[in-house]
Structure 1
Amino acid sequence: MRPQRRYPLLLVGLLTVAGCGDDSSSPGPTAVPPSPDPALLGFPVPDPEPDLPGGIDSYAPPAPDDPSLRDTTIAAGLRMGEPEDTLVVTGDGFVPGTTRFEVFGQTAGQLTGTLEEVEPPQMEELIASVLLPDTMPSPSMYLVYPRTDAQGLPWAVNRTAARWVGPDQVSPGDGCVVYGTSLSYAHGTETAYVYLKPAGPAEGQWVTPTEVNPYRVAFEVPEDVTPGTYEVWAHNGHGGHYGWSEPVELAIVATPDWSHYDAQTFNVKDHGAVGDGQTDDYDALIATLEAASEAGPATVYLPAGTYAIRTTLRIPRYVRVQGDGVGQTIIESTPDFAASNNWLVWDGPCHEGLLGSELIDLTLDGRPGDNYEVLRWRQCTDARLTDVHLIGDVDLHEMHRLHVTNVQIDGHVFYGAASQTFLDHVTQNVGEHRDVMTIWGGEQISFTHHVAQDLDQGQTGGISSGRLLVIQGHWGSSRDIYIGDSETIELSPALDKPDQNSGEQILFEMVNSAYQGTATPATETTATLPGMDTEAIHADDAELVVVQGKGLGQRATITDIDEATDTVTLAPPFRVVPDETSIVAISRVVTDFIVYRSSLQGKADFATRETASSGVQPWGNGFDIVVDGSTFDQLGEPWSLWGINAGDPETPVAPCYFNLFINNTAQNIESGALQYAGTHDDGADSPISLLGNCVRNNEFTNVTGVGITLNGNGSMAFNVWDDNRFFDTWKGVRARQIGDPPAGDFVENLLLRSSFERGAAPLSGSVGFDSDEAITWDLTGTTFDGYESDTP
């Protein structure tokens, strides 16, 4: 290992360093290496870049080597870590025994950054582990440079990554939220930076966040901004000029005319409504809605009472329907509600699309029968549900910019392909063995302060399936979904449910990959797929993932298809272009899904019956999922990862790569963490099902079964369990491959700095570590205590 090198700090513009005063007694550096343009390292900056606030760290990394000399490139990998943490990266040009990594970091108060060379603990030609040195400054953004003969472009760790903004259209004075990862200083909840500027070369302004966490930063749009297209630039305070996120587009518009609901109010009593729960008030309500629609925007007011209707009520655009409060104003069906109409309230014929409608301060009771929905809003924009109680199932497919606030729903919600949907303080109660929520291809959806529980634990049919959210790929990939500060209460399948294979609280069923094969010739933004079937590969909204060979671990969205040449266009560009050794899989996927500071709870009998009860379960095609700072109780396991085929030898692999589970606590569970790799490919070089997944800094207590379980007949490689603590755990590790011989390999399983204590678990039959000999492990710093047998 080379000696540690320190690089002096280069002050740029008005950049200041918190806590760093003038010290004339300290000798200055004799030479200052030039700081490169961030663009040379592949990092964006606003145009023009503003002066950075004083709280942002100074950062002066070394200039890169001549691009013509670069012989090593990092393709993909984990993006969050601290000193002593282990990362996994894939790349090109890795030479075991020769390639090493140079890690740079610099934090507040440092006059010099630190650059240290490290040898990879594990390395193959396409994959390597990187141990961030304990000498690195913290907190910091880290740059990891690969080097064989020459230094390659750096891989950024803890760099601000803004993914989306919501709502994506706002007016001056409105609230707005940036979503992503590593959005806050030191992964905290106090400090973050947001810069708002017009699109293109133009100066902007810093705006003060109103709420901060590592994955969500809220701010208010200044009152004085001019409507137009804007860029939102986030910065977590690390990395100086190199720490900006990519910009996210935001439309700022004048306050829409349709939002002025208070301009006119129409009272349903003035149109003949009675509100006694006996009289059919349908005609009176329709007359009032039509009058409000013609005059809109307007409010339809329903004074306290129960309004019975004989058939479906349609809410027109530009209309708010307002009552006197939940339980005070009620809309319900008459006993002879038309059997041909399955919805109590809806938006009208498909594709007409509501705009600017709102329900507020009332109850909709949609209980005429099992096949009815209390509310169906589809393909609508800028709709709101506020202070409402919905009794019955709800359909919100393809809603856009939907806000649901302070709402109770007694039934299942189908979000379908909803987007830009924001739910805050929603409580759901579900029975009849139903799932709580379903998504079939949604994106940019936020759940905050969401509570889910059974409708009635003591009532026959009052218990749900135990599933909070089921995501499937029928209508597309699901991306950019945030669940924060939310909870489930005793959510798991009922004893009388015929199928006990249920209870996965957050379940991604994304196993139907549609293509597996070569991708040559390829460029940074295109790939040719021989024999491509456009319909079969789900061309709309599918992603391409490199599962074997050069470029391993990378994924990109298919944005266009040239059917004449079997060529797909991809974004973002490949860092490493695939070649003839590469195998790719194409599927609809779940990506960039966040669970933060939430609590998932099953039932107390978790250990006495076999269910599929799990906190978070990506069942194929899950990428860059983060579960952080959450608690899990009374479950089969807090999470499990499945990289598999769909049970058909012709079905391509559905992998899970680079998912991160950090800072969580789990108690009263059967298994701490489960990973399953399945395949139908023959031979030990089958595509990798599980790669680069990381379980870090978690605590598990009262594990009645096994702390860590590995199983399957496929391939998994370079997965990390780092700095975890298991207490009262009956069996520490159990790893088994299926098949004789297995189709794949379990290689470089990195179980580091972790502890397993049997504690109060039974001594009889307890096992510390039990693994097939062919499975390779690194157990550095890991201990097993109090077990009856098989402790290394």
Structure 2
Amino acid sequence: MMKVLASVVLASLVALTLIGVAVAQRGTGNAATFHDAALRGAFSAEEARGPGDFGMPVPTPEAPLPEGADSFNPPLFRVSRSSPAIAEFSRTADRNEIVSMTGVELDRSSNFEIFSQAPSAVKGEVTAVSPLRADKTAATVLLPVSLPEWSMYLIWPNRNGDRGQPIAINRTEAWWLGPNKGTPGTLISVYGRNLTRGNGTSLSYLYIKPPGGSGSYVKPVAVNPFKVDFPIPDMPAGSYEVWIHNSHGGRFGWSGPLKLDILTRSPWADQKSNLLNVKRFGAAGDGITDDTAALQRALEAAKTAAPATVYFPAGTYLVTSFLTAPGNVGWAGDGMNMTEIRLDRSIDHSMIEIAGENVQFEGLTVNANRKTGKQVLMQVYSAKDLRIASVKLNAWGVAALEANGASGLYISDSELVENGSFYGSSRQVFLSGNKFRMTGYGESVAALWGGRDFSMVGNELSNADESQDDGHGIGRFFVGQAHFGSLRNLYWGNNTSRNAAPHDCDKVDCNKGEQICFEIVGSKIKSDFVTATADTVSFKSLSDLGEVTPGGQDLVVVGGRGAGQHRHIVASADSTVTLDAPWNVVPDQTSRFALAAIASRVAIYDNNFDGRSTYSEHDSDSTSVLLFGNVYDAVVDNNRISRMRHGMMTIALDPTLGLAPYFLQYSNNTVSDSNSGLYVGTTFADSGNSGIWGGLGNVYRNNRFENLTHIGVEYETWAHDGSDYNGTVFERNSFKNVPYGFVDAYQLIWTYDGRFKSAPGSHSMKVNTILHENDFDRGSAAAHGSVGFVTRHPSNSWLNIGSTWKDFASGNDGPIVTKSLPD
């Protein structure tokens, strides 16, 4: 009887799906909803047994759901191997918002079935919609307004009853834990995406358990959609699992496990119980006497007595040679304004070398006094568990730290006067509550070349002394590059910059000034594919894999079947690489690969980025966030941005190397008093390979732009094949007081007069761009020559749903001609 019922239900689903397709063929996301009682009753017969049916994790033994968690009882549809399939997708969207995705067979009479369930409902509903746009690579789907507000949604691709694996929108997604160890009471953060109820700042649920055992909930002390803070509970030392739930999706909404080590003792335990006063070793601290020998004697004694702390009473201690910090020894003063260690002779050497683990500095000033030549103030090497708290590092003219290969680096509530520090391939780096005062046109506060687990929270960036030429930086909080391999797990929150941009283009390279800057260009195209399995790919040769780097490399599908996916390489043997996770869509002979060092899993949330008042007067590259090259899964959300040359930038580069950003999200940001608002395009390449995608699935949603001197959206193209964009979504953005609204043209980065031109010959294309409910208003900008919407490339294809352009001299109708590329 059950089999008969299931067959009837499946036939009903197919029929209703075809009705839904017919209703939704208008291309605006209209939906047909399955409301009939027979189908609702069938849900219990066909209901999924648990998260494992969809490959979703759940604690073992299964934990009780958080109080108030949504009910979620999805159906279990049989998946066909010949069905359409989704490779990659944008992970966050509310009802009446767009999901962008890549996959296979999404364009051949396929539609999408969306399961949702109101929080108080016993059963859910399935709604069928047709895509807004779809081709052999990508599709975009508008979530119907009939869905429950900000919930978890499952989406199946469906062609004539053949369904592919579902994807989950708004599902809790924990990326990493930092710090990943500590004693009870230590404040820990879970970093990720969709971590809170309704993507708000009030509710998130953390569950901690030993492997294989039951656990308990821990109350967070601060939450936002990308970071949730909690104190380690009073639990026995050992290794634990941390699970997190945003209360949507019921049993299907868990993310985890992340590993947390609860320690019996902190890395710096007992150091304060054994204080060695430097004055006992002959130090004067009078600012006149050379205290080098006395401090060296104190440090040597502390090394022997470790764990210990060398105590520097208030005063100024002059040294004329570098000092070595032994392991398991702290340095403590009476406060950064009370105790100073000052270098009093030029040594052309770092002032302090960290020689061991578990070192800490607290409550003092270390002043290089411009006497280390070109050497950094503090040479950290590959230190482990280095803590710097309430310390002033005065490294005017050089870097404060060189910390390549460090693990567990904590700098808090300190002041760093410097050209910027190098963190290389370090991991578990936490910079919080610091004041960074830049000098010497320093490149950036922090440079990371293949590291991971990196967090900057509550810091301030400014220039050290704007009355002096060398008292300026160039406006960068961070530069990420791939010289030492892939970067992963990075977070910025509640940071503030002031007057941060190149100040004089005659004295400094003004092609700089991006405050969060990813320049990820370590990539090459692999053209010798042989075969692939769920989690391996074989090539004819791996001779181009290169040397092993700390960050390793990723394999990115940049064209053909499965485009948009990336996987980290965890092993290689003979001519086969093994990947860290299975493909959603297994590549084949049509697939194009980039062997790449990449940046992924990035969240930039709730920061204040301020440039300079000269934003429209000179051609600097001052920008709040630049995502340039191989960047994936990055979210830029709820930031306040002002006085920039370009508010935010997404850039694809040379398609002969596969340098392309995929599945980025810019949402809820405010850009004001700037030259241009949003730059999206392809630059700095004069030749290319067709079939290599430059941008896939990037979404720009709910951003506000005000008082722009030049262009609202710069949609730039250069003269070469490849680096095409597909499935780009501009959704519910508002632009007020701007002379040029949305401009699709050639080399806009160097256009100032409104004379927009098309690319000569071959050029990168913009395919299936969706404009949904954006508002462009000229406002107080000059009316003469103003343009609301202009495209200089008629082969580009567009869909406009409800976007408006107001009071421009021309272009108030938006894109008039919409075209689709042939398969």
TM-score by length of 2: 0.89
Aligned partners of 1:185 and 1:238 also within 8 Å: yes
How far, CA to CA, are the matches of 1:375 and 1:191 in structure 2?
41
Q: Does 1:762 align with 2:787?
A: no
The Cα shift of 1:5 comes to 2.2
How far, CA to CA, are the matches of 1:785 and 1:499 in structure 2?
38
Q: 2:330 aligns with which of 320, 327, 340?
A: 320
Aligned partners of 1:75 and 1:89 also within 8 Å: yes
Q: Does 1:605 align with 2:606?
A: no
Q: Does 1:39 align with 2:65?
A: no
Stretches of structure 1 lacking an aligned partner (at least 5 in a row)? 11-27, 349-353
The Cα shift of 1:93 comes to 2.8
The Cα shift of 1:749 comes to 1.1
How far, CA to CA, are the matches of 1:453 and 1:256 in structure 2?
34
How far, CA to CA, are the matches of 2:382 and 2:81 in structure 1?
53
1:20 maps to what in 2? Answer: none
Q: CA 1:610/1:270 → structure 2, altered by over 3 Å: closer, same or farther? A: same
Q: CA 1:538/1:756 → structure 2, altered by over 3 Å: closer, same or farther? A: farther
How far, CA to CA, are the matches of 2:507 and 2:601 in structure 1?
33
The Cα shift of 1:109 comes to 2.4
Q: CA 1:257/1:592 → structure 2, altered by over 3 Å: closer, same or farther? A: closer
1:56 maps to what in 2? Answer: 69
Q: CA 1:7/1:558 → structure 2, altered by over 3 Å: closer, same or farther? A: farther
How far, CA to CA, are the matches of 1:465 and 1:778 in structure 2?
39
Q: CA 1:171/1:712 → structure 2, altered by over 3 Å: closer, same or farther? A: same
2:412 maps to what in 1? Answer: 405
2:821 maps to what in 1? Answer: none
The Cα shift of 1:766 comes to 0.5
How far, CA to CA, are the matches of 1:78 and 1:590 in structure 2?
17
1:361 maps to what in 2? Answer: 363
2:256 match: secondary structure: coil
The Cα shift of 1:509 comes to 1.2
How far, CA to CA, are the matches of 1:577 and 1:31 in structure 2?
30
The Cα shift of 1:677 comes to 2.1
Q: Which amino acid aligns with 2:681?
A: Y
1:389 match: secondary structure: strand
The Cα shift of 1:211 comes to 1.1
Matches within 5 A, 1:301-380: 301-334=311-344, 336-339=345-348, 342-348=349-355, 354-367=356-369, 368-380=371-383
Which moved further from structure 2: 174-183 or 654-663? 174-183
1:39 match: secondary structure: helix
How far, CA to CA, are the matches of 2:664 and 2:43 in structure 1?
42
Q: Which amino acid aligns with 1:655?
A: A
1:589 maps to what in 2? Answer: 598
Matches within 5 A, 1:675-690: 675-677=680-682, 685-690=690-695
The Cα shift of 1:535 comes to 4.5
How far, CA to CA, are the matches of 1:305 and 1:674 in structure 2?
52
Q: Which amino acid aligns with 1:407?
A: S
Q: Does 1:452 align with 2:461?
A: yes
How far, CA to CA, are the matches of 1:670 and 1:528 in structure 2?
48
How far, CA to CA, are the matches of 2:314 and 2:238 in structure 1?
42
1:476 maps to what in 2? Answer: 485
Per-residue CA distance 1:573-601 (angstroms, 9 max, x = gap): 10111000000111111111111000111
Q: 1:150 aligns with which of 162, 185, 198?
A: 162
How far, CA to CA, are the matches of 1:277 and 1:417 in structure 2?
38
Q: 2:202 aligns with which of 176, 181, 190?
A: 190
The Cα shift of 1:532 comes to 2.9
How far, CA to CA, are the matches of 2:604 and 2:350 in structure 1?
33
Q: Does 1:697 align with 2:717?
A: no
Stretches of structure 2 lacking an aligned partner (at least 5 in a row)? 1-18, 21-31, 747-757, 814-823
Aligned partners of 2:102 and 2:137 also within 8 Å: yes
The Cα shift of 1:528 comes to 1.6
Identical positions, percent: 32
Q: Does 1:78 align with 2:98?
A: no
Matches within 5 A, 1:626-705: 626-645=635-654, 651-677=656-682, 685-705=690-710
2:280 match: secondary structure: helix
Q: CA 1:523/1:707 → structure 2, altered by over 3 Å: closer, same or farther? A: same
Aligned partners of 1:519 and 1:578 also within 8 Å: no
Q: 1:122 aligns with which of 133, 139, 150?
A: 133
Q: Does 1:245 align with 2:271?
A: no
The Cα shift of 1:122 comes to 0.5
The Cα shift of 1:68 comes to 4.6
How far, CA to CA, are the matches of 2:290 and 2:627 in structure 1?
48
1:159 match: secondary structure: coil
The Cα shift of 1:503 comes to 1.1
Q: 1:731 aligns with which of 717, 728, 740?
A: 740
1:779 match: secondary structure: strand
1:373 match: secondary structure: coil
The Cα shift of 1:530 comes to 2.9
How far, CA to CA, are the matches of 1:369 and 1:285 in structure 2?
19
Q: CA 1:40/1:681 → structure 2, altered by over 3 Å: closer, same or farther? A: farther
2:695 match: secondary structure: strand
Which moved further from structure 2: 355-364 or 46-55? 46-55
Aligned partners of 1:7 and 1:114 also within 8 Å: no
Q: Does 1:289 align with 2:292?
A: no
Q: CA 1:544/1:288 → structure 2, altered by over 3 Å: closer, same or farther? A: same
1:497 maps to what in 2? Answer: 507
How far, CA to CA, are the matches of 1:671 and 1:211 in structure 2?
34
Per-residue CA distance 1:201-236 (angstroms, 9 max, x = gap): 22111111111111111112221x222221111111
1:519 maps to what in 2? Answer: 529
How far, CA to CA, are the matches of 1:756 and 1:162 in structure 2?
36
Q: CA 1:7/1:494 → structure 2, altered by over 3 Å: closer, same or farther? A: farther
Q: CA 1:44/1:656 → structure 2, altered by over 3 Å: closer, same or farther? A: same
1:415 maps to what in 2? Answer: 423
Q: Which amino acid aligns with 2:678?
A: A
How far, CA to CA, are the matches of 1:616 and 1:250 in structure 2?
31
How far, CA to CA, are the matches of 1:715 and 1:579 in structure 2?
21
Aligned partners of 1:449 and 1:484 also within 8 Å: yes
1:372 match: secondary structure: coil
1:430 maps to what in 2? Answer: 438
Aligned partners of 2:43 and 2:74 also within 8 Å: no
Per-residue CA distance 1:120-174 (angstroms, 9 max, x = gap): 0101122110111111001211111111132222111110011111111222332
How far, CA to CA, are the matches of 2:392 and 2:119 in structure 1?
49
1:382 match: secondary structure: strand
2:403 maps to what in 1? Answer: 396
Which moved further from structure 2: 532-541 or 687-696? 532-541
1:625 match: secondary structure: strand
The Cα shift of 1:284 comes to 0.8
Aligned partners of 1:476 and 1:588 also within 8 Å: yes
1:230 match: secondary structure: strand
Q: Does 1:259 align with 2:265?
A: no
Per-residue CA distance 1:540-574 (angstroms, 9 max, x = gap): 61111101111111100011111x3x211112110
Q: CA 1:256/1:410 → structure 2, altered by over 3 Å: closer, same or farther? A: closer
Q: Which amino acid aligns with 2:222?
A: E
* Matched length: 756
Aligned partners of 2:347 and 2:373 also within 8 Å: no
Q: 1:219 aligns with which of 220, 230, 241?
A: 230
The Cα shift of 1:518 comes to 4.6
1:94 maps to what in 2? Answer: 106
Aligned partners of 2:350 and 2:372 also within 8 Å: no
Q: CA 1:706/1:253 → structure 2, altered by over 3 Å: closer, same or farther? A: same
How far, CA to CA, are the matches of 1:790 and 1:255 in structure 2?
66
Q: Does 1:554 align with 2:572?
A: no
How far, CA to CA, are the matches of 1:48 and 1:64 in structure 2?
26
The Cα shift of 1:257 comes to 7.2
Per-residue CA distance 1:83-130 (angstroms, 9 max, x = gap): 01111111123243x110011122432333232110101011221101
Aligned partners of 2:717 and 2:765 also within 8 Å: no
Q: Which amino acid aligns with 1:4?
A: T
The Cα shift of 1:247 comes to 1.1
Matches within 5 A, 1:137-216: 137-148=148-159, 149-199=161-211, 201-216=212-227
The Cα shift of 1:533 comes to 2.5
